[in-house]
């Protein structure tokens, strides 16, 4: 099931209060007239209400590869300029004021700046400024040089960081810039400027521009929405001038995948598997207690769940985030090392990007859509791959085979260094429930028990889960798996919950039975059984 980005703000997860109308010192809501509404509507953003959506934050921004600037309106009597500067924590020096929309750039003019390749860009956040010609009767245009704006051609400077404005007087200062985050254009803001020192007519369309390719500082970072399950993963986005933690995905239909898809706090619940199967560690497996199968020694069949469990965990309920092991509630995912790209949730290794759809300029990392690294903004030791992700240097041009991953420029086994959760094993670079291979027992020609825990006759092979061990010279039944070395005992241990083979001759079970090379039972069987089996239904977080 594919999920798309879910951006409807929920009251539970908002990080800011609802937007309120802004006011200048002395009263009076701003903006003062309806001109802005008309301009926004003409740009396809008519759903924005300037009276309630206007904000004075964010003040600083994170740029992407390219910035696109467009002049929407010039309603003032002056020909003002617009540009950017590097955010350093100090008032920008005149030489760091980089004009990009000049006073002669009229309405409709659009320019693009590859800011991350601009020598003036220092990396990090940027701010924006407007230079006015107020009081300069001998000129109608601000002139810029290597040292910044020529003092003889500009009247005042106003910044997105209001504390640096020429007429800043603290909390009672006049507002010179209001912002609207675009609904139509991704990563875009409208900047509405008021260009008169100490206030003006407050229409904020003296210079109205749109800048695309920016997000408010901190936007795009992963966050926790406070919701349950899949809906807990969020990303910070700018809404109404403030950062909000919005969910990456909407609640969906519950499936057997080890994830709380419907965000109700329960994992893999309900009737989500085929008949006579139950969901265990993200896979549908055969029920125990069906047909002639009974659970191995040391375990008992939990009828409600259909799983073989440690008797000490029967009827035991563990809190969220923990699982039952040997009768005690233990932290889920403890000691687990998932394959590259996967994360451990609820004691299951899952890909957090499954079901997340990003736009063409983004790529999913850790369940969150992030800007592609096309403009080369990877940290030291990393390189930008064609996928848009930063990878180890040397891996950007490396193609690895199935089940392999690239690390430090070399292809390695995707299961190397992986420690899967109990009940899962790593194969082809992924952790998954170990598949069961039960089947009808083969007919043996010699002595040998046909029940679980028995010993195979000389040369016999042990059957898989639900199967029977053959006698001397016998073969495993259809769907059965080979056990230990020929001629050795075929005693059983519980290795992991398993799915019944499609060719199985019996019902199988949510536990796999495999041959042991030494034929020992007793304490070894009990210990492995306790460690490897637990009840999924009550222990899931």
- pLDDT tens per residue across span 358-396: 777 788 888 777 778 877 667 788 888 988 899 999 999
Residue 212 lies in a domain: yes
Is the peptide bond prior to 31 cis by the omega test (within 30 degrees of 0)? Answer: yes
Claim to verify: residue 297 and residue 167 sit in the same structural domain:
no
Claim to verify: residue 85 and residue 204 sit in the same structural domain:
yes
Residue 459: which pLDDT band, with cuts at 50, 70 and 90? very low
Number of domains in the chain: 2
Q: What is the pLDDT of residues 270-281, one digit of tens each?
A: 888 888 888 877
| φ/ψ (deg, to 5) at 300 | -130, 150
What is the structure's pLDDT at 120?
94
Residue 264 lies in a domain: yes
Please say if the pLDDT value at position 309 is more than 70.
yes
Residue 356 lies in a domain: no
Claim to verify: residue 201 and residue 271 sit in the same structural domain:
no
Residue 438 lies in a domain: yes
* Structural contact between residues 421 and 280, judged by C-beta atoms closer than 8 angstroms: no
CA distance 406 to 416: 11
Claim to verify: residue 210 and residue 272 sit in the same structural domain:
no
What is the structure's pLDDT at 326?
80
CA distance 423 to 510: 10
Claim to verify: residue 22 and residue 70 sit in the same structural domain:
yes
CA distance 125 to 144: 22
Residue 365 lies in a domain: no
Please say if the pLDDT value at position 180 is more than 50.
yes
**Which carries the bigger pLDDT value, residue 8 or residue 165?**
165
Claim to verify: residue 503 and residue 434 sit in the same structural domain:
yes
CA distance 372 to 378: 10
Claim to verify: residue 198 and residue 279 sit in the same structural domain:
no
Following DSSP, what letter does each residue of 166-193 receive, concatenated?
TT--GGGPPP-EEEEE-SSSTTEEEEEE
Following DSSP, what letter does each residue of 45-89 receive, concatenated?
-TT--HHHH-B----SEEEEEEEEEEEEE--SSS--EEEEEE--S
Residue 82 lies in a domain: yes
What is the structure's pLDDT at 294?
64
Residue 330 lies in a domain: no
CA distance 438 to 519: 19
Which of 441, 460, 439 is CA-nearest to residue 451?
A: 441
For residue 245 the two structure tokens come to 């933690």
Claim to verify: residue 207 and residue 271 sit in the same structural domain:
no
Matching residue, tokens 């089996």: 533
**Which carries the bigger pLDDT value, residue 401 or residue 525?**
401
Claim to verify: residue 134 and residue 24 sit in the same structural domain:
yes
**Which carries the bigger pLDDT value, residue 491 or residue 348?**
348
CA distance 496 to 516: 14
The last residue of one of the domains, among 216, 248, 277, is 216
Claim to verify: residue 126 and residue 181 sit in the same structural domain:
yes
Matching residue, tokens 């991953």: 405
Claim to verify: residue 90 and residue 188 sit in the same structural domain:
yes
CA distance 193 to 156: 12
Judging by DSSP bridges, how do beta strands 322-325 and 328-331 pair with one another?
antiparallel
Residue 338 lies in a domain: no
CA distance 364 to 384: 14
Which domain covers residue 465, as residue numbers?
Answer: 256-322+430-541
Q: What is the pLDDT of residues 123-175, one digit of tens each?
A: 889 999 999 988 886 667 888 988 999 988 888 999 999 999 988 887 778 89
What is the structure's pLDDT at 8?
30
């Amino acid at each position: 099931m594919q999920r798309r980005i879910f951006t409807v703000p929920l009251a539970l997860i908002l990080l800011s209060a609802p937007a309120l109308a802004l006011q200048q010192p002395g009263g009076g809501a701003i903006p003062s007239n309806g001109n802005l509404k008309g301009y926004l509507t003409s740009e396809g953003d008519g759903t924005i209400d300037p009276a309630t959506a206007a904000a004075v934050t964010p003040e600083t921004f994170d740029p992407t590869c390219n910035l696109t600037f467009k002049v929407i309106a010039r309603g003032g009597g002056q020909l003002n300029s617009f540009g950017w500067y590097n955010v350093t924590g100090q008032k920008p020096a005149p030489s760091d004021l980089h004009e990009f929309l000049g006073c002669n750039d009229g309405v409709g003019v659009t320019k693009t700046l590859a800011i991350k390749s601009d020598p003036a860009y220092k990396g990090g956040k940027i701010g924006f400024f407007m230079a006015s010609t107020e009081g300069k009767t001998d000129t109608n245009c601000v002139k810029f040089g290597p040292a910044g704006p020529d003092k003889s051609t500009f009247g005042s400077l106003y910044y997105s960081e209001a504390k640096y404005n020429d007429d800043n007087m603290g909390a009672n200062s006049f507002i010179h810039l209001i912002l609207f985050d675009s609904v139509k254009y991704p990563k875009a803001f409208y900047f509405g400027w008021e260009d008169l020192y100490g206030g003006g007519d407050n229409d904020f369309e003296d210079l109205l521009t749109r800048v695309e390719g920016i997000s408010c500082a901190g936007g795009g970072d992963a966050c926790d929405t406070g919701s349950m399950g899949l809906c807990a993963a969020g990303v910070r986005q700018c809404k109404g001038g403030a950062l909000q933690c919005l969910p990456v995905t909407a609640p969906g239909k519950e499936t057997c995948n080890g994830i709380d898809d419907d965000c109700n706090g329960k994992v893999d619940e309900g009737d989500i598997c085929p008949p006579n199967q139950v969901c265990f560690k993200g896979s549908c497996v055969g029920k125990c207690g069906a047909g002639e199968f009974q659970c191995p020694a040391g375990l008992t069949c939990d009828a409600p769940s259909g799983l073989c469990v440690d008797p000490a965990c029967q009827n035991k309920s563990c809190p969220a985030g923990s699982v039952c092991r040997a009768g005690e509630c233990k932290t889920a995912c403890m000691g687990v090392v998932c394959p590259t790209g996967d994360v451990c949730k609820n004691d299951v290794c899952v890909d957090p990007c499954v079901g997340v759809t990003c736009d063409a300029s983004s790529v999913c990392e850790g369940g969150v859509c992030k800007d592609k690294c096309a403009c080369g903004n990877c940290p030291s030791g990393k390189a930008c791959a064609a996928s848009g992700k930063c990878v180890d240097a040397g891996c950007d041009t490396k193609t690895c085979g199935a089940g392999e991953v690239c690390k430090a420029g070399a292809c390695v086994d995707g299961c190397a260094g992986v420690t899967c959760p109990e009940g899962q094993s790593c194969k082809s670079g992924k952790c998954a429930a170990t598949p069961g291979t039960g089947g009808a027992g083969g007919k043996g020609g010699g002595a040998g028990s046909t029940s679980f825990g028995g010993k195979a006759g000389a040369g016999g092979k042990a059957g898989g889960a639900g199967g029977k061990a053959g006698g001397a010279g016998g073969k495993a039944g259809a769907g059965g798996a080979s056990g230990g070395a020929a001629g050795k005992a075929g005693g059983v241990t519980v290795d992991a919950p398993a799915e019944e083979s499609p060719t199985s001759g019996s019902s199988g079970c949510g536990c796999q039975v495999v041959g042991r090379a030494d034929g020992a039972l007793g304490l070894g069987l009990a210990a492995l059984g306790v460690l490897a089996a637990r009840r999924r239904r009550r222990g899931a977080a």
